[in-house]
Amino acid sequence: MLRTKATWLPSYQECISNFIDRAIALEKYVFKSIRAFVKSKQKISYSLRIDYLA
């Protein structure tokens, strides 16, 4: 398999844009997981509150 010089040495801009894309994807994933965690925590605290009141 032949590799061009571009695949070996990607340009600086390419690296940065790739890194930014990856960072955005990671941020979205982390944000989603945090939101899911917060929602589950709210549900748990809500159910505990109901148990406490009952």
Tens-digit pLDDT string for the chain (54 aa)? 455 555 556 577 788 888 889 998 999 988 888 888 888 888 777 776 766 665
What pLDDT shows up at residue 50?
65
Structure tokens, 3 = 């590799």
Task: Kindly report the pTM of this predicted structure.
Answer: 0.47
- Give dist(CA 9, CA 15) in Å, integer: 9
What pLDDT shows up at residue 35?
87
41 sits in which H/E element: helix 12-53
- For 12, phi then psi, to 5°, come to -60, -45
What pLDDT shows up at residue 6?
52
What pLDDT shows up at residue 4?
52
What pLDDT shows up at residue 54?
54
Taking the mean position of all CA atoms in its chain, how far away is CA 10? 25
